[in-house]
């Protein structure tokens, strides 16, 4: 299957999950899983692969908070600072990606005199 260029829909979905992660409360082991998934998302953004970005978003959604916690999973905690930093970096990368994909028609260009 061919991959599609990252489009506004893929970026919007990725930005939404990155925003949601900020309020998640998870066990430390689950935060480790989220960290690995953020690595995968970064890779998909670098490749500009919309299908892979959407797959990374779905993986993150599946690894989010649940209503039922297993006994003995450890303390539930808010987002670690390192993950906040990574989410912020990914958000900036996604916004830059959108800006570089904007059509030239709306931009003013200076011509040399």
- Give the domain ranges of the chain: 8-66+74-102
> Using CA atoms, how far apart are residues 38 and 87, in angstroms rounded to an integer?
8
> Using CA atoms, how far apart are residues 35 and 60, in angstroms rounded to an integer?
10
> Using CA atoms, how far apart are residues 88 and 72, in angstroms rounded to an integer?
31
Task: Write out the DSSP string of 40-80.
Answer: HHHHHHHHTBHHHHHHHHHHHHHTS--SS--TTS---B---
Reading the chain (113 residues) residue by residue, the pLDDT tens digits are: 455 677 899 999 999 999 999 999 998 999 999 999 999 999 999 999 999 999 999 999 999 998 666 666 568 899 999 999 999 999 999 999 888 765 543 444 344 44
pLDDT at 1: 45
- Angle of the 8-21 helix axis to the 28-47 helix axis, nearest 10: 160
pLDDT at 5: 79
pLDDT at 106: 43
pLDDT at 22: 96
> Using CA atoms, how far apart are residues 41 and 60, in angstroms rounded to an integer?
9
Residue 5, SS3? strand
pLDDT at 74: 67
Pick from 20, 60, 19, 55: which is nearest to 37 by CA?
Answer: 60
- Angle of the 8-21 helix axis to the 81-100 helix axis, nearest 10: 160
pLDDT at 99: 83
């Amino acid at each position: 299957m061919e991959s599609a260029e990252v489009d506004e829909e893929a970026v919007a979905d990725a930005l939404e999950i990155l925003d949601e992660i900020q309020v998640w409360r998870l066990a430390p082991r689950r935060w480790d899983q989220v960290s690995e998934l953020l690595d995968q998302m970064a890779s998909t953004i670098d490749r500009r692969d919309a299908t892979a970005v959407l797959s990374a978003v779905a993986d993150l959604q599946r690894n989010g908070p649940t209503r039922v916690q297993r006994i003995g999973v450890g303390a539930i905690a808010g987002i670690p600072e390192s993950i906040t930093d990574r989410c912020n970096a990914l958000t900036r990368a996604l916004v830059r990606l959108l800006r570089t994909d904007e059509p030239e028609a709306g931009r003013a260009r200076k011509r040399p005199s």
